[in-house]
Copies of this chain bind each other. A is one copy, B any other.
Amino acid sequence: MPRVSQDQLDARRRQILAGARACFARHGYEGATVRRLEEETGLSRGAIFHHFRDKESLFLAVAEDDAAAMVATVAEHGLVQVMRDLLARADEPDQAGWLGTQLEVSRRLRTDPDFTKRWAARSEAIAAATRDRLIRQRDAGVLRADVPVQVLAQFLELAYDGLVLHLAMGRPAVDLEPVLDLAESVVRRQR
């Protein structure tokens, strides 16, 4: 039996995640059947579920990929930049679909403690990165000082959540740039 290298395993995993993301985006969480996941990834169910325990794990792995990318962007450019990136890709139909899938699981987040716990780790990493960056900005003197950092962080997260809901519902993204400018100005040191 030929040995499969780590590179090959990693490439296979990325192939599955990309196909799964497109599949969830197009068909929703419930609609992403195993047959459709096979079609979108180009792999058999055996190959897919060799890498991921079940559909829920696959979904959470795609979301964790997003979270890791978000944490990196937040650390370097802030949460508003993540929002600007979402806005720039608003024309891609799969983006709204994928965001919509995340809304679809909202009931699960209220009723399934195990799922909630796995999702919370993802949210907490983003929240922590947001707070850390704001603290660095405060120390550099560019952040407003009259509102606690925690409140500013929650404010940016609220705006981010609002943008996710807005885009997931297919509402127009045009004209939202000045709204993000305004949200960004809120956390800056006031003139």
Query: Contacts A147-B182, A151-B182 known; A169 to B109 CB distance under 8 Å?
Result: yes
Query: A137-191: which have CB < 8 Å to B?
Result: 147-148, 150-152, 154-155, 157-166, 168-171, 175-176, 178-179, 182-183, 186, 190
Smallest beta-carbon distance A14→chain B, Å = 26
User: Is A97 an interface residue, CB under 8 A from the partner?
Assistant: yes
- A158 contact from B93, B147, B162, Cβ within 8 A: B162
Interface mask (A74-118 → B, CB under 8 Å = 1, otherwise 0):
000000000000000000010011001101101101100000100
Q: Are A169 and B96 in contact (CB-based, < 8 A)? A: no
Number of chain copies forming the complex? 2
Query: Contacts A162-B161, A164-B165 known; A100 to B106 CB distance under 8 Å?
Result: yes
Provide the bound-state CA to CA distance between A101 and B116, in Å.
17
Provide the bound-state CA to CA distance between A42 and B173, in Å.
43
Q: Are B151 and A158 in contact (CB-based, < 8 A)? A: no
CB-CB nearest in chain B for A158: B162
Q: Are A169 and B106 in contact (CB-based, < 8 A)? A: yes
Residues of B within 8 A of A110 (CB): 93, 96-97, 100, 168-170
Given contacts A161-B162, A162-B163, A186-B186, 10 further A-B contacts (CB under 8 A): A28-B107, A100-B106, A100-B107, A103-B104, A104-B106, A106-B165, A151-B179, A151-B182, A162-B165, A165-B165
A residues in contact (CB < 8 Å) with B: 28, 30, 93, 96-97, 100-101, 103-104, 106-107, 109-110, 116, 123, 147-148, 150-152, 154-155, 157-166, 168-171, 175-176, 178-179, 182-183, 186, 190
